[in-house]
Amino acid sequence: MSSVAECAVRAERHGAVELLVLDRPRALNAFDLPMLTELDAHLVRVAADRDVRAVVLAGGERAFSAGADIRGYLDAPPDRLRTITETAGAVCRRIAELPVPTVAAVRGLALGGGFEVVLACDLVVAAEDAQLGLPETELGLIPGWGGTQRLTRLLGVHRALELILTAGRLDAAEAHRLGVVNRVRPAADVLSDALAWAEELARRAPHALAVAKTAVRAAAAGAGEQGLVLERELLLGLYPTADGIEGVRAFAEKRKAVFGGR
């Protein structure tokens, strides 16, 4: 096994499996633009490497990822917010479109953008104490990295709306029951189980798996790229509103937001 240390994303090679570990523990692996850019570079590299036959994406013990680093949204100009949102959406799309199987190893929190990254993966192994959700409406925003589209494809309109409108969370057992998570394991076993599953997949015919992924995702796509573009533009329209500004500021100030409907 060889390893390469990076600032916010650590890469390790386990035979034919690439392990990418989100590594901003002090921020609960919240994504800022440099971290998104770094993850994207790893994904580009992996997609071009014919020796990689499967990918595991993991976080830390406390959090897979708590989502976007909202602190970076305070007073950010519109072009900066667009860059962050478009980069994040591209990262999630690149994960979904990798020709090899992707397995998310989820321990602790997977919220907001963190959950959207999980939703972009093919398979999910979650710890018994994992919590998954899309809390953006609490900030006066909406999921904008693919969450409205991918969650709806998984759960249907009513259940997706319930989770998004109420900013609800799923525990691992409920997520498994709904089909959001494939396997639930004790936290100590999540990463090893995900790696073992990826290693099993890496032994299968790679072209067959790539074609199977393409066919299944095409069947589930529905509105496809148009829906992702619509979602992104709707989110970008919320950032400059009074409620959007208040939600982000309240989060940074660790208080409950007061929305005025503007």
The Cα 22–Cα 126 span in angstroms is: 16
Comparing 213 with 44, the larger pLDDT belongs to 44
Active site residue 116: yes
pLDDT at 217: 82
pLDDT of 70-107, one tens digit each? 988 888 899 999 999 999 999 999 999 999 999 999 99
With 0.85 as the threshold, say if the pTM is over it: yes
- pLDDT over 80 at 109, yes or no: yes
Active site residue 199: no
Buried/exposed code over 96-105 (b: 16+ C-beta within 10 A; e: otherwise): bebbbbbbbb
The full set of domains in the chain, from first to last, is 2-188+203-207 (3.90.226.10)
Say whether 243 sits in a helix, a strand or coil.
helix
Say whether 54 sits in a helix, a strand or coil.
strand
* Helices vs strands, H then E, count in the chain: 10, 11
CA 48 to chain centre: 21
pLDDT of 154-177, one tens digit each? 999 999 999 999 999 999 999 999
Q: Which of 171, 174, 119, 109 is nearest to 145 (CA)?
A: 119
- Which residue in the list 136, 138, 231, 253 is annotated as catalytic? 136
pLDDT at 223: 57
Q: How far is CA 104 from CA 58, 65, 137, 142, in A?
A: 6, 11, 25, 23
- Which residue in the list 116, 138, 174, 253 is annotated as catalytic? 116
The Cα 194–Cα 41 span in angstroms is: 22
Question: What percentage of the chain reaches a pLDDT higher than 90?
Answer: 76
Find residue 170's DSSP bridge partners.
Answer: 132
The tally of CA atoms less than 13 A away on the side-chain side of residue 153 is 18
The Cα 68–Cα 53 span in angstroms is: 29
